[in-house]
């Protein structure tokens, strides 16, 4: 089944929430250590991706500003400086008056929101996960150093294990934040923000699966039963999943003996697929330039780490053209298994043998060399491995 998270996330990220809120609200405060002369407040428009400026304010010599927004509904509003297209703060209009204090000389915790409980919750969320991600990043640098210097592999494994633990903690914290939120815009924004980060392979985070997203959306709809936006997102996601299942191509390799692959690894040594006979092996077709592949890699890494001690391994087959980019992606995405490539792009011998038309693509081969599943992605990969290995 193809993933349908991306179109859902576009709606999630842009959604503002419909209710009977008709009051205007004021955003004011003090901005320190910035050369900008003007600050803007922008509203995110439903489904269009448009960022509509609702008001602006000059920043006086003391850094003070004040803006008034006429709002027909509660939603997500971003504050940005005239000198920067990216927002520096996000607020939710659950209060008449919202105060924002920011000091741009600071790298972390540089702004504070008061007067709005939901806006403060957004700030608290990002503060917390920034701390957790900082530890993950530090560990990743240590792992890279160990590998480049051929250091203690056991120490590297312990750092990787801690990274996985932190990733799980971030996901759990996000889920709890979404579930505890008493405002629909807060739930939707946090969920979208997390999924957006999880799509970036450099963050080494696993996003919520389609099933998990549906569960969260259903729970949100129970808490906010009058929310037509949440119902629309949920219904659209269900329809997309059903359509994707119906349109999914029929397996072409399942039940057949896996064709041989014989390609060089990163050191130029020839590796044969048949050398893995006796194990379950996932042949994973990918490339460093393939964005969907890189987004899927955290799921593959998670599956490998969970089942590699149970007679399971992975053979990565890359359709790269440049060895440097291929090797860098292996390190960056923590793909700690055997990799091969003839660096011939779509003209790769493996592409022709396995009739690969799109990537990512994979086949799962049993110890006797027979294909038992193909095109396993996201939660489907873990479910199949649990089925055959437990």
User: Residue range 59-85: average pLDDT?
Assistant: 92
Shared domain check, 130 and 100: no
* Confidence at 269, pLDDT banded by 50, 70, 90: very high
pLDDT at position 161: 80
Shared domain check, 371 and 300: yes
**278 lies in some domain:** yes
CB atoms within 10 A of CB 380: 16
Which H, E and C letters describe the chain, residue by residue?
Answer: CCCCHHHHHHHHHHCCECCCCCCEEEEEEEEECCCCCEEEEEEECCCCCCEEEEEEEECCCCCEEEEEEECCCECEEEEEECCCCCCCEEEECCCCEEEEEEECCCCCCCEEEECCHHHHHHHHHHHHHHHHHHHHHHHHHHHHHHHHCCCCHHHHHHHHHHHHHHHHHHHHHHHHHHHHCCCHHHHHHHHHHHHHHHCCHHHCCCCCCHHHHHHHHHHHHHHCCCCHHHHHHHHHHHHHHHHHHHHCCCCCCCCCECCCCEEEECCCCEEEHHHHCCCEEEEEEECCCCHHHHHHHHHHHHHHHHHCCCCEEEEEEECCCCHHHHHHHHHHCCCCCEEECCCCHHHCHHHHHCCCCCCCEEEEECCCCEEEEECCCCHHHHHHHHHHHC
The count of structural domains within the chain is: 3
Top pLDDT among 69 and 295 is at 69
* Confidence at 247, pLDDT banded by 50, 70, 90: low
pLDDT at position 55: 95
**101 lies in some domain:** yes
User: Residue range 149-175: average pLDDT?
Assistant: 86
User: What CA–CA distance (Å, rounded) separates 384 from 371?
Assistant: 12
292-345 pLDDT, tens digit per residue, is 898 889 889 988 988 988 999 999 999 999 999 999 999 988 899 999 999 999
**39 lies in some domain:** yes
Q: In this model, does residue 19 exceed pLDDT 50?
A: no
Shared domain check, 229 and 137: yes
pLDDT at position 141: 85
96-130 pLDDT, tens digit per residue, is 999 999 999 987 788 999 999 999 999 999 989 98
Shared domain check, 70 and 30: yes
**7 lies in some domain:** no
* Confidence at 50, pLDDT banded by 50, 70, 90: low
CB-side neighbour CA atoms (13 Å) of 285: 24
User: Residue range 25-46: average pLDDT?
Assistant: 90
* Confidence at 377, pLDDT banded by 50, 70, 90: confident
pLDDT at position 56: 95
Domain holding 50: CATH number? 2.60.40
* Mean pLDDT rounded to a whole number for the chain: 86
**9 lies in some domain:** no
Residue for token digits 């530890």?
135
Residue 278 belongs to what domain range? 262-389
User: Residue range 234-259: average pLDDT?
Assistant: 79
User: What CA–CA distance (Å, rounded) separates 261 from 273?
Assistant: 5
Q: In this model, does residue 206 exceed pLDDT 90?
A: no
Last residue of a domain, one of 247, 272, 304: 247
Pull the structure tokens for residue 324.
Answer: 């440097």
**10 lies in some domain:** no
Strand order in 338-340's β-sheet?
338-340, 312-318, 280-286, 361-365, 371-374
pLDDT at position 49: 59
**99 lies in some domain:** yes
pLDDT at position 20: 47
Residue 27's nearest CA partner among 61, 54, 8, 49 is 54
Q: In this model, does residue 68 exceed pLDDT 90?
A: yes
Whether the predicted model's global pTM rises above the 0.85 cut: no
pLDDT at position 168: 86
């Amino acid at each position: 089944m193809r993933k349908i998270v991306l179109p859902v996330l576009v709606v999630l990220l842009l959604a503002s929430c419909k209710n009977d809120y008709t009051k205007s609200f004021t955003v004011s405060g003090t901005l320190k250590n910035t050369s900008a002369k003007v600050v803007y407040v922008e509203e995110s428009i439903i489904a269009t991706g448009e960022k509509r400026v609702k008001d602006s304010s000059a920043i006086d010599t003391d850094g003070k500003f004040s803006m008034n927004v006429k709002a027909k509904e509660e939603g997500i509003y971003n504050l940005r400086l005239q000198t920067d297209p990216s927002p520096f703060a996000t607020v939710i209009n659950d209060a008449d008056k919202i105060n924002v204090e920011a000091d741009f000389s600071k790298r972390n915790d540089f702004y504070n929101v008061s007067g709005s409980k939901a806006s403060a919750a957004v700030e608290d969320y990002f503060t917390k996960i920034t701390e957790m991600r900082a530890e993950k990043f530090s560990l990743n640098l240590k792992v890279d150093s160990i590998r480049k210097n051929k250091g203690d592999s056991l120490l590297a494994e312990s750092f990787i294990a801690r990274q996985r633990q932190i990733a799980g903690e971030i996901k759990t914290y996000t889920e709890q934040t979404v579930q505890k939120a008493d405002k629909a815009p807060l739930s939707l924004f946090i969920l979208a923000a997390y999924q957006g980060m999880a799509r970036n392979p450099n963050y080494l985070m696993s996003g919520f699966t389609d099933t998990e997203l549906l569960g969260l959306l259903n729970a949100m709809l129970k808490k906010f039963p009058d929310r037509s936006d949440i119902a629309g997102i949920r219904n659209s996601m269900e329809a997309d999943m059903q359509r994707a299942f119906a349109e999914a191509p029929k397996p072409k390799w399942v039940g057949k003996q896996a064709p041989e692959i014989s390609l060089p690894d990163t050191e130029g040594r020839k590796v044969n697929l048949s050398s893995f006979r006796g194990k379950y092996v996932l042949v994973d077709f990918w490339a460093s330039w393939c964005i969907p592949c890189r987004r899927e890699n955290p799921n593959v890494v998670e599956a490998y780490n969970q089942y590699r001690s149970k007679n399971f391994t992975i053979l990565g087959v890359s359709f790269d053209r440049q060895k440097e980019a291929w090797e860098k992606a292996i390190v960056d995405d923590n793909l700690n298994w055997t990799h091969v490539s003839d660096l011939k792009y779509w003209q790769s011998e493996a592409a022709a043998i396995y009739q690969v038309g799109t990537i990512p693509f994979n086949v799962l081969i049993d110890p006797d060399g027979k294909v038992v599943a193909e095109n396993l992605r996201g939660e489907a990969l873990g479910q199949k491995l649990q089925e055959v290995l437990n």
